[in-house]
């Protein structure tokens, strides 16, 4: 890590706020691997330079080869998806501080979000209740197995799952029982709700919090911003360097968090998000909604940022135009492509997203 660069008043305020926030993860630190693109091959070929760079002072690789960096959040936890952990980093402490005894959420049969909720809730002493879409697998594997190991799993039909909010609320009511209470996590955030220990522990009643699919709330942005603050302090990036971040986007929360963090911290970093699950207008609407919620919940951070720099074009949303090349990249770099969550990649005049499909 290099010494923290000088920040303007807004950047110092954000840094101070992040330092004072209670986090789920003990540290924002993550491994960053350097990958070289070998231009001498007919097709793109990749080489993981991380170990050779450490051993030789950074002189390995073909002369003139393009390099990019991969943030290895897939190594954050042995069981939970790293990107999902980032989204829970600031959320779970808030819910526990508000007296949550149980958390209800949902996802697909192999949902990384559901597995992360199950694992981290179990670690924090909160009972996780997971609603999974579809039928139970004959042989549980992957994230489905992890959800079963750490959470209370209920399988629901696809028709019922189509009405997610109603499904989540009805299940939360059952979990809470006659004397318990049910709240949406989004309603808790920013309201400073306290915990009445006499009602949460003394009479054994449950306080059930509902976390929507993907945990794409404004609180999730803070964990991603914390990651960006950590990355900006690495010696890997020069001061005032213009870094280009490329990230796959499901809900779009991670991309918005990275871009918003760059603006708040005064970094000359830009974010390109590859759309995987929605239309361009859907992602733009999601971006506007998250930024608007961020302004309402954290006005002290938002204040002072330029209006036109926050509500429009924070993220460059692009289509995925080629199939995934997971096995090809895995064989050459030993990086599990499906688990790559955030990637920094310099702009060299051709579509950088092509390298991450």
The pLDDT assigned to 312 comes to 61
Last residue of a domain, one of 164, 198, 217: 217
Whole-angstrom distance, CA of residue 68 vs CA of residue 342: 12
The pLDDT assigned to 74 comes to 84
Q: Does residue 3 belong to any structural domain of this protein?
A: no
Q: Are 112 and 225 part of one and the same domain?
A: no
CATH number at residue 199: 3.40.50.1100
Q: Does residue 272 belong to any structural domain of this protein?
A: yes
Q: Are 307 and 341 part of one and the same domain?
A: yes
Last residue of a domain, one of 192, 217, 242: 217
The pLDDT assigned to 303 comes to 64
The pLDDT assigned to 206 comes to 94
Q: Give the domain range for residue 187.
A: 82-217
Q: Does residue 213 belong to any structural domain of this protein?
A: yes
Q: Does residue 4 belong to any structural domain of this protein?
A: no
The pLDDT assigned to 340 comes to 34
pLDDT along the chain (357 residues), means of 10: 50 84 93 76 59 47 67 88 94 94 96 96 97 93 96 96 96 96 87 50 81 90 94 80 87 93 89 91 92 86 56 82 63 56 34 28
Rama region for 117: left / alpha / beta (φ>0; ψ in -120 to 50; rest)? alpha
Please count the structural domains in the chain.
Answer: 2
What global pTM score does this model have?
0.81
Q: Does residue 1 belong to any structural domain of this protein?
A: no
Q: Which of 177, 171, 155, 174 is nearest to 212 (CA)?
A: 171
174-177 long-range CB contacts below 8 Å, 24 or more apart? 175/102, 175/104, 175/129, 175/206, 175/208, 176/102, 176/206, 176/207, 176/208, 177/205, 177/206
The pLDDT assigned to 347 comes to 36
CATH number at residue 311: 3.40.50
């Amino acid at each position: 890590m290099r010494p923290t660069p000088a920040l303007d008043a807004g950047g110092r305020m954000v840094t101070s706020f992040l330092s004072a926030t209670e986090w789920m993860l003990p540290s924002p630190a993550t491994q960053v691997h350097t990958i070289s693109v070998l231009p001498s091959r007919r097709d793109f070929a990749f080489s993981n330079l991380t170990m050779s760079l450490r051993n030789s002072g950074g002189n390995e690789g073909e002369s003139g080869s393009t390099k990019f960096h991969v943030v290895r959040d897939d190594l954050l936890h042995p069981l939970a998806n790293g990107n999902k952990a980032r989204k829970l980093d600031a959320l779970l402490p808030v819910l526990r501080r508000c007296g949550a005894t149980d958390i209800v959420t949902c996802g697909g049969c192999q949902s990384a979000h559901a597995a992360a909720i199950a694992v981290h809730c179990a670690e924090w002493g909160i009972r996780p209740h997971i609603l999974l879409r579809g039928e139970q697998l004959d042989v549980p594997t992957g994230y489905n197995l992890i959800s079963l190991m750490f959470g209370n799993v209920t399988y629901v039909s696809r028709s019922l799952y189509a009405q997610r909010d109603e499904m989540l609320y009805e299940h939360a009511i059952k979990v809470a029982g006659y004397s318990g209470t049910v709240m949406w996590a989004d309603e808790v955030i920013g309201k400073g709700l306290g915990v009445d220990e006499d009602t949460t522990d003394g009479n054994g009643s449950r306080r059930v919090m509902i976390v929507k699919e993907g945990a794409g709330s404004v609180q999730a942005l803070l964990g991603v911003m914390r990651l960006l603050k950590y990355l900006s302090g690495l010696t890997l990036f020069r001061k005032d360097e213009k870094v280009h971040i490329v990230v796959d986007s499901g809900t779009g929360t991670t991309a918005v968090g990275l871009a918003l963090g760059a603006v708040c911290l005064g970094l000359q970093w830009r974010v390109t998000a590859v759309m995987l699950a929605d239309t361009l207008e859907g992602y733009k609407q999601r971006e506007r909604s998250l930024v608007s919620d961020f302004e309402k919940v954290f006005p002290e951070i938002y204040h002072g940022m330029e209006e036109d720099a926050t509500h429009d074009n924070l993220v460059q949303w692009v289509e995925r135009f080629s199939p995934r090349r997971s096995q090809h990249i895995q064989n050459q770099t030993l990086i599990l492509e499906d688990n790559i969550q955030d990637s920094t990649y310099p702009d060299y005049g051709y579509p950088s997203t092509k390298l991450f499909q």
